[in-house]
Amino acid sequence: MNYLNNIDVRTVKVLEQSEFPSKSQPKNKLIENAEELIRGLGLKDNAVVSFHHHLRNGDKVLNTIMKEIQRTGVKGLTLVASSLFPVHAEIIPLLQDGTIENIVTSYISGDLAKAISYGELKGNIIMQTHGGRARSILNGEIEIDVAFIASPSADKYGNISGVNGPNSCGTLGYVIADSIKAKTVVSVTDCLVDYPNYPADITEDYVDYVLLIDSIGRKEGIVSGTTKVTKDPIGLKIAKDTLKVMEATGLLKDGLSYQSGAGGISLAVTAFLRDYMIENNIKGSFASGGITGYLTNMLEEGLFSSLFDVQCFDLEAIESLKRNPNHIRMSASQYGNSEVSAVVDNLDIVILGATEIDTNFNVNVTTGADGVLMGGSGGHADTAAGSKVSIIVSKLFSSRIPLIKDRVDVITTPGTTVDVLVTERGICVNPLRTDLIEAFKKAKLDIIDIKDLKAYSESIMGKPEPIEKTDRIIGLSQYRDGRIIDYIYQVKK
């Protein structure tokens, strides 16, 4: 639209001196009572509310706010949470009474996940990727009415910093899209600081209200589960073999870009990679994703020039982000939005886990062996698609349950984007990657056909029993570009 085509300068209304504006006043955004805020927002039935998960299993904001919303009697909400953790089991009653009707998320675990798998959500659950979430918010596919931003610190005009405050969680990469697009943006903080709060992950111009509450959570809850190198000898063997695989790709050279998940084997791969880079005097370009202390150490050792951080996985990462100018904040869109160019598109290698993988290399990290929700893509499908080589590292069995199946329960990441599987019993290469098969043969790596590895696995443990499901579809696995790649079914109790 050409603005000037719509006005006639000769007849436009020009203010008289008596109509001139007075001096502006800072907007009063601070509210110290959650009930007052929620009532004031006037949420209507079927509204869409969003949350981020940088406090992970230490988050108290989602529970506090959702229970306050429940008290208003509003029904049919869609909850758009970047991830949901065991701590969020507190909102199960809100599924049962219809306060929450639909959930859109990228990861879900704990009793809330179980409740949904057993059919307690009236509507549906959409499992997105981290990049897909940003895409769907920024392109208007999902319209958020109110974004509630757990804020480790904020000033009363809404400058939010993730590195200041007792519950600092580091980067706020997952909530940037929400802050840009939500109709109303609320900073929820337990640490009100003097203006101006900086460095701000989200600046005051994006924020409508600042809600001061007693506690946004427990920082210790950020470190949940699997953020330490495995000590299991089988896991370590897989990690060592993975290093050989990486070497054989020819990508372990100056300029390497790298990402790994925070699982124990993935972190072991990172630890071996570090030794290899030091030994071979390799200077990498960047590492990305959720950042751990393993990567911040490698940054400080000069093994990577920079880190692109969408989420701090541990307290070392938070400290590094605060201190090191080469440790860079990254939004989820910059990380993995398929509608723009993103950091994942320039990744050389990504190391990922799997709960199940099938003979088409499709990976499931969304549901467990019992078909119950216990995870989700996060950046899994984003990085698998963007990287030059995506490598799945996993043991062949987990609690006697085989990894490889004819067809995974729920497809999280399409096999067309998964390149290599490394297990303790062999390395499988996706037949689509003839280039890698060639390279691995040259490097004298033993490659086994995934069907043969499955047969071996079944010869030991037998074929797994099929999961008992109802015929009710409770949700969808959404690919990063918005297309649907699988159904999610209700599980029989």
Distances (CA, A) of 419 to 252, 286, 479: 17, 21, 17
194 binds its own copies per the rule CB under 8 A: yes
Binds its own copies by CB under 8 A, chosen from 81, 104, 116, 392: 104
Instruction: Round to whole Å and give the CA distance between 385 and 382.
Output: 5
Q: Quick one: how far is CA 453 from the chain centroid?
A: 31
Binds its own copies by CB under 8 A, chosen from 217, 261, 415, 426: 415
Binds its own copies by CB under 8 A, chosen from 204, 241, 314, 356: 204
417 binds its own copies per the rule CB under 8 A: yes
Instruction: Round to whole Å and give the CA distance between 227 and 89.
Output: 22
Between 209 and 272, name the residue whose CB sits nearer to its own copies: 209
Give the shortest CB-480-to-its own copies separation in angstroms: 8
Choices 55-63, 121-129, 263-271, 449-457; region in contact with its own copies by CB under 8 A = 121-129
Choices 270-278, 443-451, 459-467, 469-477; region in contact with its own copies by CB under 8 A = 469-477
Q: Are 155 and 162 in contact (CB under 8 A)?
A: no
475 binds its own copies per the rule CB under 8 A: yes
Site string for its own copies, 206-245 (x = CB under 8 A): xx--------------------------------------
Stretch 311-370 residues interacting with its own copies (CB under 8 A): 325-326, 328, 330-331, 333-334, 337-338, 340-346, 360, 362
Between 175 and 222, name the residue whose CB sits nearer to its own copies: 175
Of all helices (H) and strands (E), which one includes residue 488? strand 484-491
Between 236 and 385, name the residue whose CB sits nearer to its own copies: 385
Binds its own copies by CB under 8 A, chosen from 33, 96, 215, 416: 416
Contacts of 438 (CB under 8 A, 6+ apart): none
Contacts of 363 (CB under 8 A, 6+ apart): 352, 354, 355, 356, 357, 380, 384, 392, 408, 411, 412, 413, 415, 418
The candidate with the shortest Cα–Cα distance to 268, out of 291, 236, 309, is 236
Q: State the greatest distance between any 2 C-alpha atoms of the chain, in Å, as a whole number.
A: 90
Stretch 53-72 residues interacting with its own copies (CB under 8 A): none
Give the shortest CB-444-to-its own copies separation in angstroms: 26
Count the neighbouring beta carbons within 10 Å of the beta carbon of residue 417: 22
Q: Quick one: how far is CA 161 from the chain centroid?
A: 19
Tokens of 177: 């899209």
Instruction: Round to whole Å and give the CA distance between 52 and 84.
Output: 9
Q: What is the dihedral of CA 123, 125, 126, 127, to 10 degrees?
A: 180
50 binds its own copies per the rule CB under 8 A: no
459 binds its own copies per the rule CB under 8 A: no
Q: Are 384 and 430 in contact (CB under 8 A)?
A: no
386 binds its own copies per the rule CB under 8 A: yes
Of all helices (H) and strands (E), which one includes residue 48? strand 48-51
Binds its own copies by CB under 8 A, chosen from 23, 231, 444, 493: 23
Give the shortest CB-229-to-its own copies separation in angstroms: 27
Binds its own copies by CB under 8 A, chosen from 120, 319, 458, 481: 481
Between 72 and 398, name the residue whose CB sits nearer to its own copies: 72
Instruction: Round to whole Å and give the CA distance between 207 and 38.
Output: 16
136 binds its own copies per the rule CB under 8 A: yes
Between 215 and 341, name the residue whose CB sits nearer to its own copies: 341
Count the neighbouring beta carbons within 10 Å of the beta carbon of residue 187: 31
Between 226 and 306, name the residue whose CB sits nearer to its own copies: 306
Stretch 70-89 residues interacting with its own copies (CB under 8 A): 76, 78
Q: What is the dihedral of CA 219, 224, 227, 229, to 10 degrees?
A: 130
Instruction: Round to whole Å and give the CA distance between 279 and 289.
Output: 25
Choices 43-51, 348-356, 364-372, 434-442; region in contact with its own copies by CB under 8 A = 43-51
